[in-house]
C-alpha cells in the first residue's frame, strides 16, 4: 500500500500519499500501542467475486488494467500506477477480513490502516482518490459472517457518495454521514439532508450536511447526541463501521474544519457503546500528517479501552449547527420517530429557521475559504489543495500496510 503513489512529477506532492500511513504507524509506535497492544491481521487481496458484490465488472477491470501502465488517471486527481490495483485489493481484503473477525467474535474491534481510501468509489467509478470501496466491501463481509444489520458512520469531511450509492436501497445497511456540503458547493456535491435513500432503503441514508467550514468538536458531538446515537440505538446494528477520514481535523488543507484529536476520541467512544462494542474503524481521508497521526492514535486508544470520560463533555453548538441538525431532524423523524421530541424541543428553543436567516448565511464568507462549484465539477479535490498551499497566478492544466485489531 506504500507503493501506491503518484508518479507524474508535479510541483506539489499529491495529498493522498504514502506518508499518511507512515505517519500514523510512527505515532502508534511512539505511543506504545503498536505492535505491543494490537494483533496484526495477515494481508490478503480481495477476490474478484467479493468485489463483484460491490462494483461493476467494468469498474473492476479498469482498476486491474492499471497494472499494465506506468501511471494513469481515473479523474484529474485520482491516480494509479503499476502497484495501485494490488494496493486497492489489499486494502479491501484487510477490511473484509477485519469485519469478519469482529462479527465472529475472534477480535473485539479493529483499525484498518489502509490506502487508497474508498468511500467515493461507487458501483461504476473511481474518483476522489478512491479505487475500491473498502467500507462497502467490509459491510458485505460482515453480513456474510452473520451480521443481519450493519451501521456505517462516515465522518470524513467529504460526503461518501460511493457508499451511499451502493446501499441506497438496502435497509440492512444504515449509512450516516457528517460532512461539509454548503448547498452542494463542496466536493463531491452530494449528501443533502433530503437524500434519504430509495425504495426499501428510505430512511437508511442519513446526511448531516454542514453549511460552512470551520466546524469543530461541539458541533460534531451535538450532531452525534441528537441524530447519530438515537438512530443507531433504534437500528441496533450487529457491527458499526466508521469511515474515518481525518480531513475535518484542525489544520487539514482540504477540509478546513476544526475537529481535534479529543473530538475524534469522543465520537469513537460514543459509537463504541453501539453494536455491543463491535467496531471497525477504516482510514479514509486526512492530509495533514500531524493531524491524522494524532487523531488516529486517539481513536485506537479508545478501541483499547482508554476512552475519555463521557460525563465531562458539555457541548455548545453553533447557530449554523443548530440549523443543520434541525433540518435533518425534521426530515428524518418520519423514518425515525425517536427524533420527534428532540426536533420539537429544538424548535421551541430557537423557533423556525427563517428563510431570511438562511439567505444571510449564504452571503457570509465561508470559513476556510470554501470554494464554489467550479473545482468539484471537474472531479478534483486536489485542485483546492494546491490552491491553498501554493497560490498561483497562472492556471495549471490537470490531466484527465497493514490492518490491526485489538486482541
Per the listing, cell 432503503 goes with 201
Instruction: List Cα–Cα distances, 61 to 53, 72, 210, in angstroms.
Output: 14, 14, 36
Q: Which pLDDT score, from 0 to 100, does residue 391 have?
A: 43
Rounded Cα distance, 121 and 78, in Å: 11
pLDDT confidence of residue 396:
32
* The pLDDT of residue 273: 87
Strand ranges for 155-253 from DSSP E: 173-180, 205-210, 239-244
Q: What is the pLDDT of residue 385?
A: 55
How many angstroms separate the CA atoms of 96 and 115, rounded?
14
| Separation of CA 221 from chain center | 16
Helix orientation angle between 84-104 and 57-64, rounded to the nearest 10 degrees: 130
Tally Cβ neighbours within 10 Å of residue 225. Answer: 16
Report the sign of the C-alpha dihedral through residues 164, 170, 173, 176, in that order: positive
Handedness of CA 222, 228, 233, 237 (dihedral sign): negative
Handedness of CA 137, 140, 144, 149 (dihedral sign): positive
> What is d(CA 137, CA 13) in angstroms, rounded to the nearest whole number?
29
* Cβ–Cβ under 8 Å, residues 131 and 88: yes
356 contact partners, CB below 8 Å, separation of at least 6: none
Q: What is the pLDDT of residue 383?
A: 59
Contact at 8 Å (CB) between 241 and 151? yes
Q: Give the pLDDT score at 401.
A: 38
d(CA 24, CA 289): 8
By the 8 A CB rule, do 45 and 86 touch?
yes
Q: DSSP alpha helices (H): ranges in 244-379?
A: 261-272, 289-303, 319-332, 340-350, 355-363
Give 369-391 pLDDT, tens digit per residue. Answer: 344 333 344 456 765 555 555 44
**C-alpha cell at position 143:** 453480513
Place of cell 492530509: 287
d(CA 118, CA 130): 5
What pLDDT does residue 344 have?
94
Q: Which domains does the chain have, with CATH numbers?
A: 26-346 (3.40.800.20)
pLDDT reported for residue 314: 80
**The predicted structure's pLDDT at residue 355:** 47
Note the pLDDT tens digit of each residue in 32-75: 998 899 999 999 999 999 999 999 999 999 999 999 999 999 99
Q: How many CB atoms lie within 10 A of CB 383?
A: 20
Residues classed as catalytic: 120
The residues facing 283 across adjacent strands are: 244
Partners of 250 in the β-ladder: 257
Q: State residue 350's pLDDT score.
A: 74
Record the cell numbers describing residue 334, joined without a space. Answer: 418520519
- The pLDDT value given to residue 400: 32
How many other CB atoms are there within 10 angstroms of residue 3's CB atom? 11
Are 220 and 263 a contacting pair, CB within 8 Å? yes
DSSP string, 386-403: HHHHS--SS--PPP--EE
Q: With a cut of 70, list the residues of the chain below it in pLDDT.
A: 309-312, 351-380, 382-407
Instruction: Label residue 46 exposed, middle or buried (CB < 10 Å: 0-12, 13-18, 19+).
Output: buried
Residues facing 240 on adjacent strands: 151, 279
Q: What is the pLDDT at residue 404?
A: 47
Residue 109: C-alpha distances to residues 41, 183, 230, 233, 272 (Å):
12, 36, 22, 19, 9
Sign of CA dihedral 259, 261, 262, 265: positive
Cβ 112 vs Cβ 281: under 8 Å: yes
Dihedral sign, Cα of residue 234, residue 165, residue 123, residue 186: negative
Amino acid at each position: 500500500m506504500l507503493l501506491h503513489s503518484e508518479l507524474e512529477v508535479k510541483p506539489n506532492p499529491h495529498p493522498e500519499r504514502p506518508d499518511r500511513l507512515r505517519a500514523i504507524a510512527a505515532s502508534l509506535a511512539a505511543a506504545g500501542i503498536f505492535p505491543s497492544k494490537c494483533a496484526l491481521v495477515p494481508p490478503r487481496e480481495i477476490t474478484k467475486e467479493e468485489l463483484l458484490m460491490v462494483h461493476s465488472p467494468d469498474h473492476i477491470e479498469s482498476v486491474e488494467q492499471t497494472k499494465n501502465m506506468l501511471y494513469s488517471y481515473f479523474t484529474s486527481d485520482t491516480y494509479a500506477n503499476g502497484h495501485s490495483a494490488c494496493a486497492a485489493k489489499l486494502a479491501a481484503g484487510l477490511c473484509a477480513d477485519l469485519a469478519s473477525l469482529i462479527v465472529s467474535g475472534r477480535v473485539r474491534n479493529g483499525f484498518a490502516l489502509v490506502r487508497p481510501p474508498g468511500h467515493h468509489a461507487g458501483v461504476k467509478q473511481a474518483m476522489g482518490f478512491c479505487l475500491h470501496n473498502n467500507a462497502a466491501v467490509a459491510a458485505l463481509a460482515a453480513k456474510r459472517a452473520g451480521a443481519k444489520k450493519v451501521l456505517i458512520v462516515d465522518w470524513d469531511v467529504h460526503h461518501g457518495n460511493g457508499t451511499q450509492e451502493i446501499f441506497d436501497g438496502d435497509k440492512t445497511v444504515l449509512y450516516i454521514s457528517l460532512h461539509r456540503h454548503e448547498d452542494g458547493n463542496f466536493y463531491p456535491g452530494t449528501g443533502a439532508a433530503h437524500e434519504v435513500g430509495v425504495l426499501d432503503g428510505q430512511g437508511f441514508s442519513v446526511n448531516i450536511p454542514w453549511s460552512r467550514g470551520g466546524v469543530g468538536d461541539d458541533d460534531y458531538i451535538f450532531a452525534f447526541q441528537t441524530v447519530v446515537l438515537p438512530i443507531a440505538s433504534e437500528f441496533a446494528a450487529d457491527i458499526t463501521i466508521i469511515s474515518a477520514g481525518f480531513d475535518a481535523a484542525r489544520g487539514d488543507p482540504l477540509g478546513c474544519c476544526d475537529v481535534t484529536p479529543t473530538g475524534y476520541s469522543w465520537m469513537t467512544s460514543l459509537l463504541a457503546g453501539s453494536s455491543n462494542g463491535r467496531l471497525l474503524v477504516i482510514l479514509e481521508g486526512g492530509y495533514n500528517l500531524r493531524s491524522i497521526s494524532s487523531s488516529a492514535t486517539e481513536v485506537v486508544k479508545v478501541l483499547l479501552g482508554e476512552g475519555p470520560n463521557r460525563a465531562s463533555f458539555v457541548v455548545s453548538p453553533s447557530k449554523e449547527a443548530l440549523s443543520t441538525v434541525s433540518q435533518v431532524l425534521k426530515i428524518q423523524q418520519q423514518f425515525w420517530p425517536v427524533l420527534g421530541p428532540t426536533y420539537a424541543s429544538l424548535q421551541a428553543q430557537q423557533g423556525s429557521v427563517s428563510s431570511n436567516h438562511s439567505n444571510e448565511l449564504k452571503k457570509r464568507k465561508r470559513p476556510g475559504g470554501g470554494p464554489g462549484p467550479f473545482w468539484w465539477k471537474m472531479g478534483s479535490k486536489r485542485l483546492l489543495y494546491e490552491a491553498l498551499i501554493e497560490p498561483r497566478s497562472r492556471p495549471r492544466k490537470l490531466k484527465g500496510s497493514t490492518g490491526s485489531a485489538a486482541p
